[in-house]
């Protein structure tokens, strides 16, 4: 384990003790994406364990060039995949001597009770003009993948790594109006490239899951990835 990350392990229980039972604190080691969690307190909050993987949202933030120079991101929305819990989440980027992100210290605080209380207060102080404005905003908002109104991105906590990978695959396939078995090689390569950019192939079993969904062999996916890398090098 990286010596820098070792120094953060005592902070996990310390912060959790301050935040209380509904505050989960997680330490990730990004050298092993598949088993990135090396310490966790109040694990009942998202039902994860030491040895579980990073979320798709967190991985996307780490890979996003716009976040490379930020010290942290705070107070974004998180949610269980079944919608049973809502979190106020924050992430601190842990860096090595070369300023490379090597780990994450994450907080996930359950806020469902506060949201219910907020609904009660909002209803009590609701005025007719507020209702009209809120309705207008909802009509202008864009629907998310699942058809619900979504204005801001949120972190979703899945029950398993495979469930998360499958969800990413489906989100990439959904806008495409062609069934995988009818796609051309070029179209399948485009799907693979999008999944590569999303960080999917950093997970060990992702190739097999993608191959199954695209109705091709694992070897074909590996070939697509090699070709995509070569094409990127030629462009560069």
Question: Minimal CA–CA distance to 2: which of 32, 25, 41, 34?
Answer: 32
Digit-coded pLDDT (tens) for 21-36: 999 999 999 999 999 9
Is pLDDT above 80 for 205?
Answer: yes
- Per-residue confidence band for 60, with pLDDT thresholds at 50, 70 and 90: confident
* Distance from C-alpha of 151 to C-alpha of 6, rounded to nearest angstrom: 37
* Distance from C-alpha of 39 to C-alpha of 51, rounded to nearest angstrom: 9
8 A C-beta contact, residue 30 and residue 3: no
End-to-end CA distance of the chain: 34
Residue 83 structure tokens: 């919608």
Residue 136 structure tokens: 């207008």
**pTM confidence score:** 0.66
Could you give the domains of the chain?
1-158 (3.30.450.20), 160-235 (no CATH)
């Amino acid at each position: 384990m990286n010596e820098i990350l070792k120094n953060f392990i005592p902070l996990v229980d310390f912060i959790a003790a301050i935040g209380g039972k509904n505050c989960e604190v997680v330490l990730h080691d990004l050298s092993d994406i598949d088993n990135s969690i090396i310490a966790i307190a109040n694990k009942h909050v998202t039902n994860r364990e030491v040895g579980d993987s990073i979320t798709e949202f967190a991985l996307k933030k780490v890979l996003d060039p716009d976040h490379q120079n930020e010290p942290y991101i705070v107070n974004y929305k998180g949610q269980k995949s079944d919608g049973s819990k809502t979190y106020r989440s924050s992430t601190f980027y842990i860096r090595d001597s070369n300023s490379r992100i090597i780990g994450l210290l994450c907080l996930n605080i359950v806020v469902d009770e506060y949201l219910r209380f907020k609904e009660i207060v909002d209803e009590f102080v609701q005025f007719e003009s507020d209702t009209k404005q809120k309705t207008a905003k909802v009509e202008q908002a864009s629907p998310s993948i699942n058809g619900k109104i979504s204005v801001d991105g949120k972190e979703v906590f899945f029950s398993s790594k495979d469930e998360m990978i499958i969800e990413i695959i489906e989100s990439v396939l959904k806008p495409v109006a062609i069934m995988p078995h009818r796609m051309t090689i070029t179209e399948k390569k485009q799907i693979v490239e999008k999944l590569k950019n999303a960080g999917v192939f950093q997970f060990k079993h992702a190739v097999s899951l993608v191959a199954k969904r695209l109705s091709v062999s694992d070897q074909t996916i590996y070939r697509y990835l090699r070709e995509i890398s070569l094409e990127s090098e030629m462009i560069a």
